[in-house]
């Protein structure tokens, strides 16, 4: 379990989000703007926002993660399909 997952499990969402944002900056600086790790970080941030009931922001990040994942991993990759399912779940819930 990662530090981020611990924060999330403890309901320390703001701290989890802050750590994901910092990790994203570092990854972007090291890996560029089109790397699978960035898509996963965006997805993780969206999960935290979703848990915080900040659905509009979560949906935007899920969509960014989904688009990036499609480009770098392909539409059939398990991460891409999971991101697509998250966006559809929010839409079905009216968010």
HSE (side-chain half, CA atoms, 13 Å) at 84: 11
Q: Give this prediction's pTM.
A: 0.84
Question: What pLDDT is recorded for position 53?
Answer: 92
Could you give the CA distance from residue 76 to residue 78 in angstroms, rounded to a whole number?
6
Q: What is the pLDDT of residues 35-79, one digit of tens each?
A: 999 999 999 899 899 989 999 999 999 999 999 999 999 999 999
Q: Does residue 91 surpass a pLDDT of 80?
A: yes
């Amino acid at each position: 379990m990662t530090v981020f997952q611990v924060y999330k499990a403890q309901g320390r969402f703001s701290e989890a989000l802050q750590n994901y944002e910092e990790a994203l900056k570092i990854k972007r600086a090291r890996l560029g703007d089109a790397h699978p790790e960035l898509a996963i970080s965006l997805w993780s941030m969206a999960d935290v926002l979703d848990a915080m009931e900040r659905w509009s922001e979560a949906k935007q990040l899920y969509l960014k993660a989904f688009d990036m994942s499609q480009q770098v991993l392909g539409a059939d990759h398990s991460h891409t399909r999971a991101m697509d399912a998250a966006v559809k779940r929010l839409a079905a819930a009216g968010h």
